Amino acid sequence: MNPNSQSSLITVDPFHPEPAAIQRAVECLIRGGLVAFPTETVYGLGAHAFDPSAVRRVFEVKGRPPADPLIVHLASIADTQTVAAHIPPAAEALGLRFWPGPLTLLLPRRSSLPPEVSAGLDTVAVRVPSHPVAQALLQAAGLPVAAPSANLFGHASPTLARHVIDDLGGRVDLILDAGPTEWGVESTILDPLQSPPVLLRPGGISIAELESVLGPIRIAAPAERISASPGRQPRHYAPNARLILCPGETPADIAESVRSTARRERKENRRIGLLAASEVASRIEPSETPVILRDLGSIGDLRGISRRLFACLRELEAEGVDIILAHRLPGEGVGAAVNDRLTRAAAEEDGSV
Ligand code: TXA
Ligand code: MG
């Protein structure tokens, strides 16, 4: 594809995607093209998983190191046999319970799957997405689709087609635009091949939900996550601006540390963004603490916060801020995933978090 050419953008109904649009996307995949499509988590950049040159283009377009494996998207649990050598009982139990949905499982890789997909590892990460557009695409295509998040490597994942265009416009053949994604953070990644199973990335399916099926699981330490899952580098979600997590147990404490950090940074003439829950944001007086605010919504609505997180990060970047002040949220449910992404975005270059 000519790098200067435009990506085709097709608007689709998020609940009842138009068959003609899906058909165009299927034809594109079969020809070896790249299709950005919505999932319930974030937008993915899809390629025919059995077409090695299409898979290699995914890495090129994202600027992603070839050592960082992709997730294969399937229409149903029955399709795992096309890419996995077998499905262990624990994985099957999880698939039956949580698929379609925001859970990715590591399975033993089938040898016929091009090694590029899983970066030469002997496992393959698979998931069955629930978004009606992703489902329609996978069912109509009848093939496994390798798809990382459709952003430039290291940037916030795309929750709108606009984000895909901003990062990859012109380098993707087709973009299916179905509006904002439901979860806003990427899927939970679990390795059920180890005993106890290991959580590699928190996401929409919570630790408590996984444990209700499996019993106790182990949460991988940051260093272990990086070696098990090479793409999980500390600065994975880093915005262009420096992100600082302001400590505090209560909204009042956090607001106090936002005020004092903002005072310190303003002395350096920095443009400051604030990414905060409403309970914190409402305690910041704009005349006293001038910040560019993105209100994530109430702490009581962690799903809403996760849905808005990446879009707000991108908006603050677009405002040209030098510093983004943010804070942790309660760690239950999807809060663990939000805290994980914030911690990674705040990590120093040397990998300390
Ligand atoms: O929600 C999601 O998972 C989205 C949507 C598009 O499905 N996809 C996504 O893909 O977040 P990506 O490529 O941005 O993140 C996939 C992560 C990477 O950190 C990669 O290292 C890890 O999955 N991964 C993939 N295959 C793996 C494997 N065989 N072993 C360990 N980690 C693996
Ligand atoms: Mg990604």
Segments making up each domain of the chain, as ranges: 8-228, 242-345
- Phi first, then psi: give them for residue 147, nearest 5 degrees: -150, 115
Confidence of residue 214 (pLDDT cuts 50, 70, 90): very high
Residues with CB under 5 A from ligand 2 (ion): 149
CB 125 less than 6 A from any atom of ligand 1: yes
Residues 81 and 108: beta-carbon distance below 8 Å = no
Which of 256, 304, 259 is closest to 277 using CA atoms?
Answer: 304
What average pLDDT does range 83-93 have in this prediction?
97
How close is the Cα of 124 to the center of ligand 1, in Å?
10
Residue 91 pLDDT exceeds 80: yes
Residue-level pLDDT at 347 = 83
Q: Are 85 and 108 in contact (CB under 8 A)?
A: yes
Residue 263 CA, ligand 1 centroid: distance in Å:
39
Q: What is the pLDDT of residues 151-178, one digit of tens each?
A: 999 899 999 999 999 999 999 999 999 9
**Distance, C-alpha 54 to centroid of its chain:** 21
**Which residues on neighbouring strands pair with residue 199, listed in sequence order?**
190, 219
CA of 308 to the centre of ligand 2 (A): 17
Q: Model confidence over 242-296: pLDDT tens digits?
A: 999 999 999 999 999 999 999 999 898 899 999 999 999 999 999 999 999 999 9
Closest ligand to residue 104's CA = 1
* Rounded CA separation 308/109 (Å): 35
**Nearest ligand 1 atom to alpha carbon 71:** 25
Ligand nearest to the Cα of 233, by number: 1
Q: Is 187 in the pocket of ligand 1 (CB under 6 A)?
A: yes
pLDDT of residue 233: 55
Where does the pLDDT of residue 1 fall: very low under 50, low under 70, confident under 90, or very high at 90 and above? Answer: very low
Residue 223: predicted pLDDT: 78
Phi, psi of 244 (to 5 degrees): -120, 125
- pLDDT tier at 96 (50, 70, 90 boundaries)? very high
Among the bound ligands, the one closest to the CA of 203: 1
Mean pLDDT, the chain, rounded, equals 93
Distance, in Å, from the CA atom of 152 to the CA atom of 158, rounded to the nearest integer, reads 9
CATH topology (fold) of 242-345: Rossmann fold (3.40.50)
The C-alpha atoms of residue 326 and residue 261 are separated, in whole angstroms, by 11
Nearest to 128 by CA among 104, 111, 160: 104
Cβ–ligand 1 contact at 229 (below 6 Å): yes
Tell me whether strands 43-48 and 35-38 are parallel, antiparallel or unpaired. antiparallel
Class of domain 8-228: alpha beta
> SS3 for 275?
strand
**pLDDT over 70 at 350, yes or no:** no
Secondary structure letter of residue 327 according to DSSP: -
